[in-house]
Structure 1
Amino acid sequence: MRRNRECIMEKDLLNKIIALRKKLHEIPERSLAETKTKQTLMQFLQENTTLSIVDCGKWFYAVRKADVGDRKAPVAFRADMDAVCAKGGQPGHYCGHDGHSSILAGLALYLDKGKTELNRDVYFIFQPVEETGQGAKLCLPLLEEKKIGEIYGLHNIPGYPKNHILIKEGTFACASTGIEIRMTGTPSHAAYPEAGKNPGFALAKLLLEVEKLMEQVNETRGFVRMTLIGMEIGSDSYGVSASDGVLRLTVRGERECVFEEYVAAIKELAKERAKEENLTLAIHEIERFPATENHMDSVKKLRACAAKQGLPVTELKEPMRWSEDFGYYLQKTEGAFFGIGDGEDHVQLHTEQYEFPDEIIETAVRMFGGLV
């Protein structure tokens, strides 16, 4: 059985995975439109493995069944497939999801070609729509259906030493959501503003209150952050008092429970300010992500795996401020999310100059393989 066995990739297998990554890089697709990407990955697995592949419409999974009767609970590994949309709406693999999918395909090939017996089923989840936080929800039923006992995922991260395994106890990536707060009153002649209802002062007051609340929560409950994305009020008609305004914020937090309370408190403040000025209120959340909160036992397995593979580890002192919908999986079963360093000087994520570094693919497959 595979128990703490060092995972070594053959050169021809590694070359296949790098070629796949480059092919995926040339066909980036926006969230919920990953048609060619999905087809390319499924065809690759069909041509290069004997694994069972299940098409689930917007996503798919493959499974490597256990070889022995006395089985442990199944383990799952997840990779995302969608691309980031840059200026003009054109998609590009500026986050490295082409690399993530290729790594998971590489693990599938490695386990399929391996000569050692496995004592558990291994599921490979190829997930769409990570960039908007909706993809994990599509795949979640598989965890209960297959009684998956553990799930693992990773992300490449610039600014850290290349091939270092980045581990964080507790929250690896913060929860976040966009919040759009619209207040609507009634217009009036600019000479008689008292005859109308202008939302400008209520929204301005709300913004300052949300910032003060952020400071209070940080001092007493843990990290939260509010970022002003935009505020729009009125028009360029200087003879008309504004009657409609919108405040756009992005809110994030380290711990899910604190984050939820902070978001709820913002909404309550908005209701109070709208009621105070007799304004109509509409609140919308955009692209909500849960906190990616690692399970302690799974973090210990990450450390042990890295040590067995002889891979350097960087223990993160703070969570990543960006968000990952992998947190939904960790709300349902044991598991952990970790990072792999792209290099201290590597181009930053979500920029048009970014491309996934192929030099970390073997390290990623070794980590996943060691966790089986």
Structure 2
Amino acid sequence: MSFCKLVSFVLILHLLNSCLISCSSNDLSQIPKNFLSLAKREDFFDWMVGIRRRIHENPELGYEEVETSKLVKTELDKMGVSYKNPVAVTGVIGYVGTGHAPFVALRADMDALPIQEMVEWEHKSKIPGKMHACGHDAHTTMLLGAAKLLKEHQEELQGTVILVFQPAEEGGAGAKKIVEAGVLENVGAIFGLHVSNLLGLGQLSSREGLLMAGSGRFKATISGKGGHAALPQFAIDPVLAASNVILSLQHLVSREADPLDSQVVTVATFEGSDAFNVIPDSVTIGGTFRALLPKSFEQLKQRIVQVITTQASVNMCNATVDFLEDETPPFPPTVNNKTLHLFYKNVSVDMLGIENYVETLPVMVSEDFAFYQQAIPGHFSFVGMQNKSHSPMANPHSPFFEVNEELLPYGASLLASLATRYLLDSSSSPNKDEL
């Protein structure tokens, strides 16, 4: 091929790429497919994989995401995307578009978990006892991917996209701090997503209304009188009292809750003496409680206190209960806006077809994305990563949790499509406020 022909060929490709989104602005149904095609380009995909692996190798817990934030800022700088930092301690808030209304937000969480990774692969966590065991490394990568797609087609944005790189989703309520920082005050809607090992690769899933449960944590100290294990008559055994407490707590769901009103109480920690022949003075137990309905959540909270203190008293012990709300605020239920869900479903079907959209049932896991939904209309969804040829993937919060990187283009293009379509749908608004 001659030099002139080569230049002409490259110019044609550039023009085709530049108009790929603009040509489809008259047919909004083509936007998701076009973004997906761009995100699946070999260079684009390899770029996302590299980012995800760098984040995965260096996991950081809630409000400690210093290096992750630096990586995000570096990539945004390369794109020419402006941002604010720090927000909510280590958060990064990016901006793509006109700087004027309408505004729409996209969110990704950045924090890891205090888990020792057991997956053996080249890019295993380099930090002992810390691991991205919930896919937040993929979420951050997909939002950066969406940012790149949006920036490359910024002239098509009829408004402003706010990129929320959020710290501390895992119990730290980073979303609450983002809301309190006031950076979303003029935002009309916010979208978030989560990887799923239960859905096939590229499948998308959500539902209208109640999606995930509200959750809280509790810690109880049950005090008695210690003594020698051979002479229990001279002691007041808090271990026995705590055991009875745990059994009684299970009755809150099995015998007090309506079977159609989903609730969960789980005791996951039990700390006493580390000696085999010593009855300790006190025992500490801790766990979580969850409910889909706010009323049921509050009732469950009250009954947890009553059961623990009363059952301890029956065993001649005293008990105190702490819900740790200053350290880990309770998460409200995640409730998807009805209008946004219909919008999301239309975009999902346009991108992958009705056969790859799955209407899910409510689940008892929780998400601090719910704090955004309390402040502004919001929608949360799941993107699948289970490859049919792969053995069943481990659940989140497992030391064997893995991310199928083939899902990255799907999440990035979905986020970019939701933002672009939302702004196009909202662009008729006369409001021209600046953020």
Over 3 Å counting, the alpha-carbon distance change for 1:194 and 1:113 in structure 2 is same
| 1:155 and 2:194 are equivalent in the alignment | yes
Q: 2:238 aligns with which of 199, 209, 212?
A: 199
Deviation by residue 1:67-119 (Cα, 9 ceiling, x = unmatched): 7x7x43x2111101112222395222222211111111111111111054323
Could you tell me how far 1:189 is from its partner in structure 2?
6.9
Q: For residues 206 and 43 of structure 1, do their structure 2 counterparts lie closer, same or farther at Cα, with a shift above 3 Å needed?
A: same
Distance change (3 Å), C-alpha of 1:15 and 1:126: same
Aligned equivalent of 2:90, options 58, 81, 93: 58
**2:339 aligned partner:** 297
Instruction: Count matched residues.
Output: 366
Per the TM alignment, residue 194 of structure 1 is displaced from its structure 2 partner at its CA by 6.3
**Deviations along 1:175-210, whole A, 9 cap, x unmatched?**
333322111133467787666543345433332322
Aligned AA for 2:383?
I
Higher gyration radius (CA): 2
1:315 to 352, 359, 362: 359
Counterpart CA distance in 1 for 2:315 and 2:352 is 63
Rounded Cα–Cα distance in structure 2 between residues aligned with 1:86 and 1:162: 25
For residues 203 and 23 of structure 1, do their structure 2 counterparts lie closer, same or farther at Cα, with a shift above 3 Å needed?
Answer: closer
Amino acid at match of 2:81: L
TM-score (norm 2): 0.75
Give me the whole-angstrom Cα distance separating, in 2, the residues matched to 1:324 and 1:357: 22
Q: 2:393 maps to which residue? A: 347
1:172 aligns with 2:211: yes
Tell me the secondary structure at the aligned position of residue 366 of structure 2: coil
Q: Is the 8 A contact 1:164 1:341 kept in 2?
A: yes
Which piece of structure 1 moves more, 225-234 or 131-140? 225-234
Between 322-331 and 6-15, the greater mean CA deviation after superposition: 6-15
Matched, 1:358 2:432: no
How far apart in 2 are the matches of 1:103 and 1:15?
12
Rounded Cα–Cα distance in structure 1 between residues aligned with 2:399 and 2:107 = 25
**Secondary structure of 2:323's match?**
strand
With over 3 angstroms needed to count, the CA separation of the structure-2 counterparts of 1:241 and 1:59, relative to structure 1, is: closer
1:153 Cα shift?
0.6
What is the CA–CA distance in structure 1 between the aligned matches of 2:265 and 2:150, rounded to whole Å? 44
In structure 2, the residue matched to 1:368 is 415
Does residue 114 of structure 2 align to residue 85 of structure 1? yes
Encode CA deviations 1:284-317: one digit per residue, 9 max, x unaligned.
2354433222222221111111122234101112
In structure 1, how many angstroms separate the alpha carbons of the residues matched to 2:409 and 2:234? 69
Rounded to whole Å, the distance in 2 between the matches of 1:85 and 1:350 is 9
Work out the CA distance in 2 between the residues paired with 1:16 and 1:147: 32
Distance in 2 separating the partners of 1:351 and 1:188: 38
- 1:365 alignment partner AA: A
Partners in 1 of 2:255 and 2:400 — Cα distance?
38
Which is richer in helix? 2
Question: Residue in 2 aligned with 1:248?
Answer: 286
Q: Is 1:146 aligned with 2:185?
A: yes
2:77 is paired with a residue of what secondary structure? Answer: helix
Counterpart residue type for residue 280 of structure 1? N
Whole-Å Cα distance in 2 between the matches of residues 340 and 143 of structure 1? 29
Coordinate RMSD, CA, aligned: 2.8
The alpha-carbon deviation at position 165 of structure 1 amounts to: 0.2
Measure how far apart 1:44 and its partner are. 0.7
How far the C-alpha of 1:152 sits from its partner, in A, is 0.9
Alignment of 1:21-170 (within 5 A): 21-47=52-78, 49-56=79-86, 57-66=89-98, 71-72=101-102, 74-87=103-116, 89-114=128-153, 116-142=155-181, 146-170=185-209
Which blocks of at least 5 consecutive residues in structure 1 are unaligned? none
**Aligned equivalent of 1:269, options 307, 311, 315:** 307
Shift in Å, 1:220: 5.3
User: SS at the partner of 1:159?
Assistant: strand
User: What are the residue-to-residue correspondences of 1:185-264 with 2, within 5 Å?
Assistant: 185-187=224-226, 197-219=236-258, 222-233=261-272, 236=275, 238=277, 242-264=280-302
* Contact kept? 1:150, 1:335, Cα under 8 Å: yes
Letter in 2 for 1:23: R
Match of 1:371, SS state, is helix
Deviations 1:200-258 (A, max 9, x none): 454333323221121134435611122232434556475x6553223333322223332
Gaps of 5+ in 2: 1-21, 118-127, 420-435
Which among 369, 374, 379 is matched to residue 326 of structure 1?
369
Q: 1:355 & 1:96 partners in 2: Cα distance?
A: 8
* Paired residue secondary structure (1:62): strand
Letter paired with 1:265:
R
- 1:329 is displaced (CA, Å) by 1.2
Return closer, same or farther for 1:184/1:116 CA change in 2, 3 Å cut-off: same
Q: Distance in 1 between matches of 2:265 and 2:195?
A: 25
Give the TM-score normalised by structure 1.
0.87
Check 1:221–1:143 CA distance in 2 against 1; reply closer, same or farther (3 A cut). Answer: farther
Counterpart Cα distance in 2 of 1:241 and 1:51: 61
